[in-house]
Chains A and B, each alone.
Chain A
Amino acid sequence: EDQVTQSPEALRLQEGESSSLNCSYTVSGLRGLFWYRQDPGKGPEFLFTLYSAGEEKEKERLKATLTKKESFLHITAPKPEDSATYLCAVQAGGTSGSRLTFGEGTQLTVNP
């Protein structure tokens, strides 16, 4: 059974204080790992897809990296508007349709 564990559950940072969120996964043949951002009362917003170990992707202050067992979402010099819940999901190879298995998320708060 595919499993995704995210840590920490909650993270509070000061504006400008860089940090990383972790996503550990077990999956039978990774087809893709996804990062989403979710604001309160809204649907998840797609951020990145990573396909193979060693791959990195960047968007503004966010950089996602992937190894064979985990992914990190690095946040550089965060701003209060980066406050949100960040979700990680994996898709296994041979999965019917596009089934994603999600973690519980990391709730990030950035204080001014």
Chain B
Amino acid sequence: ETGVTQTPRHLVMGMTNKKSLKCEQHLGHNAMYWYKQSAKKPLELMFVYNFKEQTENNSVPSRFSPECPNSSHLFLHLHTLQPEDSALYLCASSQISYNEQFFGPGTRLTVL
């Protein structure tokens, strides 16, 4: 595997389900990010982790729960989501001393 990978690529869930999104980066970076991309809206930053520590939570509802066990892996745990949470969820990584972020392919989430 190279770059940033995300699984699953597609996810359909009901409002009462619990699911998790997984991200893994193979770039040796030390910062990881979750973004939400909705149609006709700019990418919205959700969470930032530097060296496994959460450094930013952009006022994200508690039904989204991130987890970063190490600098290579990032999870987004989902529970009791709403239909408006349907979107493309993107993971990215970067080297803290550099600015460029590299993105994974995303998980297309549909909440019924």
Instruction: List residues of chain B with CB under 8 Å of any chain A CB.
Output: 4, 6, 31, 33, 40-43, 45, 48, 50, 55-56, 90, 92, 94, 96, 99-106, 108
In-complex Cβ contact of B90 among A43, A96, A97 (8 A): A43
* A26 CB to nearest B CB, Å: 14
Quick one: which of B31, B105, B106, B108 contacts A98, CB cutoff 8 A?
Answer: B31
- Chain B's closest residue to A9 (CB) is B40
CB of A57 to closest CB in B, whole Å? 12
Question: For residues 1 through 53 of chain A, which have their beta carbon under 8 Å from a beta carbon of chain B?
Answer: 4, 31-32, 34, 36, 41-46, 49
With A43-B104, A43-B106 known, 7 other A-B pairs at CB within 8 A are A36-B103, A44-B90, A44-B103, A46-B101, A46-B103, A89-B43, A98-B33
- Check B103–A97 contact: CB distance below 8 A: no
CB contact between B96 and one of A46, A98, A100 (< 8 Å): that residue: A98
Give the residue name and chain of the B residue nearest to A36 (CB).
B103
Judged by a CB distance under 8 angstroms, whether A59 is at the interface is no
Which B residue's beta carbon lies closest to that of A32?
A: B99
Interface of B is mostly: strand
B100: A residues at CB distance < 8 A: 34, 46, 49
Among A45, A46, A49, A87, residue most surrounded by chain B Cβ atoms (within 10 Å): A46
A residues whose Cβ falls under 8 Å from a Cβ of B: 4, 31-32, 34, 36, 41-46, 49, 87, 89, 91, 96-105
Residues of B within 8 A of A96 (CB): 48, 55-56
* CB-CB nearest in chain B for A39: B105
Q: How far is the CB of B102 from chain A (nearest CB, A)?
A: 6
- Give Cα A4–Cα B40 distance, bound, in whole angstroms: 14
Q: Would A99 and B45 be within 8 Å (CB), given that A41-B108, A43-B4 are in contact?
A: yes
Chain B residues, Cβ within 8 Å of A97: 31, 48, 50, 55-56, 96
Q: B34 CB to closest chain A CB, in angstroms?
A: 12
Nearest first, the 4 A-B pairs at minimum CB distance are: A43-B103, A102-B43, A102-B42, A97-B48
